[in-house]
A and B are shown apart, each in its own frame.
Chain A
Amino acid sequence: MSEEHTVPVVHHSREHLEFMRKEKAAKKAVLLSRIIILAAIFVLWEIAAMLKWIDPFIMSQPTRIARTIVNLSKDGSLFLHTGVTIYETIIGFLSGTILGTLIAIVLWWSEFTAKVLDPYLVVLNALPKTALGPIILVWVGGTTGSIIVMALLLSVIVTILNVYQSFRSCDDDKIKLLKTFGATKLQVLGKVVFPSSIPEMISTLKINVGLSLVGVIVGEFLVSRAGLGYLIIYGGQVFKMDLVMTSVIILAVAAALMYLTVAWVEKKFIKR
């Protein structure tokens, strides 16, 4: 480094450089191990199928999956089904989050309502919502509507409980401060209770992406029209395990991408 630098150059001690090097090496080792595990699974799977240790007709095989992906991409059905599943999940989890937040606001507004509804919420939270699938199918019909209702139902109760809890955990002294200025209940909600709960709401979104996806897949199993859930159930019925495995892998990628998107939004919003 030349001496003319206007910005003072920080000279790290040897000890510090050694520390930095070790930290970086440790990070690299973790990443490398992850990749190795993934690669090992696929390689082992392929070899096992090739040498007939396992029956590729039942267990499928990476090269068959790759071929399936290529074939499905050719006629565009891969994108159609993935798109349908993602679309239904986004609609389901957005509506679940918005509806859940609105109900949480009502509960915060009226303590009486919250107390009255408490046991119902506890029971609904404990109930496996997927059990309601057939009922929804009959009531709403075998359409996308049913699938979205299913996704909404899975995320809405958790949202209500989480958001309401975070509304209630808002610092009483902060509320008191606003009240000394003469704040109305709506102002208390808008100026402190709601904004202080935004981090909690975004982390609820993270949970809801996963839950809504469960709802969507169960919904697609039942409705059986389109989507990755439909491909999985169809592949299972006609014994095309390649199709099932392919769909599951694409589903895993889609789920990870949606989760990462929400995590990115969280990082963007919660800088302060």
Chain B
Amino acid sequence: MDKVVELKNVTMNYHTLDGETQAISNLSLDVRKGEFVSIVGPSGCGKSTLLSLISGLIKASTGEILIDNEPVNGPSHNVGYMPQRDHLFGWRTILKNTTIGLEIQNKLNKDTLRNAERLLEEYGLGEFKSYYPKQLSGGMRQRAALIRTLAANPEILLLDEPFSALDYQTRLAISEEIWLIIKKEKKTAILVTHDIAEAVSMSDRVIVLSKRPAEVKSEHQIELTTSGCKTPIICREAPEFRVYFNKIWKELDVHV
């Protein structure tokens, strides 16, 4: 199997004047091409740190991170990051928002612009391309945010709790849509979430992290019996869904 993301014995320490905190301890994992992997863990366990490491924003204290068998040295054009909130820029139109990555990478030309427009058309935002973000609903904005990431044409998508700012109904609908888009565009995706149901319904594999310092506690290959297409909403109806949910819930060991 071709591994596109590989973490080998990664440790990450944060330094402040008050002292040193270990966020991630000796963590190894890999993600295969085209896979949808979710990472769940107790809050504050270093899930977002993990994504920052993979995206090359920060450097690991020890260990190695490989993308396409190349060590990560700063942000790579192969990796696209989608933040918790949409962070669309209010002073740019939807189209100009989706091309910002291309502008930064000096890749904005006729072809890439047409591709961005195609993505907007294809995913129902074509007629809103000259609108400003304020004029769109939360779900549409989140879709525009995904298209902004896709327009730069990365191979791997890092999704950092991208639905957490949405209300429950929108969240279900938009996670379905975004899953379909990711599958259609044949991207590899790593989703960080604290929502177990979301993780089980969307992923091929769920990785459970321990409390800080984060280590891999367990991995679950998700195999659900469904009729037809395995979209997140259909997956929630599978008989095994509850089994995975309960197993992961117990592993998270939540005490309030």
Q: Which residues of A are interface residues toward B (Cβ below 8 A)?
A: 171, 173-174, 176-183, 187, 191-192, 195-196, 198, 272
**CB pair B89 A187 closer than 8 Å:** no
Docked Cα-Cα span, A272 to B91, in Å, equals 6
Interface contact B77-A178, CB-CB below 8 Å: no
Is B134 within 8 A of A181, CB to CB? Answer: no
Which residues from B are CB-within-8-Å of A198? 91
| A195 adjacent to B87 (CB under 8 Å) | no
Which residues in B have their C-beta under 8 angstroms from that of A192? 89
Q: Which residue from chain B places its CB closest to the CB of A198 in the assembled complex?
A: B91
Cβ contact within 8 Å between B81 and A182 = no
Question: Bound state CA distance, A21 and B87, in angstroms?
Answer: 41
Jot down 24 A-B pairs with beta carbons below 8 A, ordered by A: A171-B87, A173-B83, A174-B89, A176-B81, A178-B100, A178-B104, A179-B57, A179-B75, A180-B56, A180-B79, A180-B81, A180-B158, A181-B100, A181-B104, A181-B105, A182-B74, A182-B75, A182-B104, A183-B104, A187-B104, A191-B103, A191-B104, A195-B91, A272-B91
Closest to A271 in B: B132
| Contact across chains for A177 and B81 when beta carbons are under 8 A apart | yes
Q: Is the CB of B57 within 8 A of A176?
A: yes
Is B239 at the interface (CB under 8 A from chain A)? no
Query: Smallest distance from the beta carbon of A85 to chain B beta carbons, Å?
Result: 35
Report the minimum CB–CB distance from B72 to chain A (whole Å).
12
Taken together as a complex, chains A and B put the C-alpha atoms of A181 and B158 apart, in Å, by 12
CB pair A174–B75 under 8 Å, yes or no, is no
Residues of B within 8 Å of A177, CB to CB, are: 81, 83, 87
A272 in complex: contacting residue of B55, B81, B90, B152, CB < 8 Å: B90
| Minimum Cβ distance to chain B for residue A200 (Å) | 13
Q: Pick the contact of B84 from A173, A178, A181, A196 — CB < 8 Å?
A: A173
Contacts of B103 in A (CB 8 A): 191
In this complex, how many residues of chain B approach chain A with their Cβ under 8 Å: the count is 26
Whether A180 lies near B84 (C-beta < 8 A) is: no
Question: Chain B CB within 10 Å — which of A171, A177, A181, A196 has the most?
Answer: A181
| Interchain CA distance A174-B100 in the complex, whole Å | 12
Please classify the interface of chain B as helix (H, G, I), strand (E, B), loop, or mixed, using the class held by over half of its residues.
loop
- Chain A residues positioned under 8 Å from B74 (CB to CB): 182
Q: Which residue of A lies closest to B101 (CB)?
A: A181
Q: Decide if B152 touches A181 in the complex (CB within 8 Å).
A: yes
- Which chain B residues border A183 with CB–CB below 8 Å? 104
The CA-CA distance from A182 to B107 in the complex, in Å, is 12
Determine the chain A residues whose CB is within 8 A of the CB of B57 once the complex forms. Answer: 176, 179-180
CA distance in complex: A14, B131 (Å): 36
Q: Considering the chains assembled together, what is the distance between the CA atoms of A191 and B90 in angstroms?
A: 12
**Sample of 13 more A-B contacts, CB < 8 Å, known A181-B105, A195-B89:** A171-B87, A173-B85, A174-B89, A177-B87, A179-B57, A180-B56, A180-B81, A181-B152, A182-B75, A182-B104, A183-B104, A198-B91, A272-B132
Chain B residues numbered 123-163 whose CB sits less than 8 Å from any CB in chain A: 132, 134, 152, 158
Q: Is the CB of A180 within 8 A of B55?
A: yes
Q: What residues on A are CB-neighbors of B91 within 8 Å?
A: 195-196, 198, 272
Contact call B75/A181, Cβ cutoff below 8 A? yes
Contact B83 A176 (CB under 8 A): yes
Chain A's closest residue to B93 (CB) is: A272
**Separation of A195 and B79 alpha carbons in the complex (Å):** 26
- A210 to B137 Cα, complex, angstroms: 41
Task: List, in ascending order, chain A residues with CB within 8 A of B89's CB.
Answer: 174, 191-192, 195-196
A180 — which chain B residues lie within 8 A by C-beta?
Answer: 55-57, 75, 79-81, 158
A residues in contact with B158, CB < 8 Å: 180
Closest residue on chain A to residue B75 by CB atoms: A182
Cα distance A183–B107 in the bound complex, in angstroms: 13
A194 vs B57: C-alpha distance in the bound complex, in angstroms? 22
Tell me if B55 and A174 are in contact (CB < 8 A).
no
Complex Cα–Cα for A70 and B6 (A): 84
Q: What are the 5 tightest A-B residue pairs by CB atom distance, in nearest-first order?
A: A180-B81, A181-B101, A182-B75, A181-B104, A183-B104
The residue on A at minimum CB distance from B85 is A173
Q: Which residue of B lies closest to A195 (CB)?
A: B91
Q: Are B100 and A191 interface neighbours, CB within 8 A? A: yes
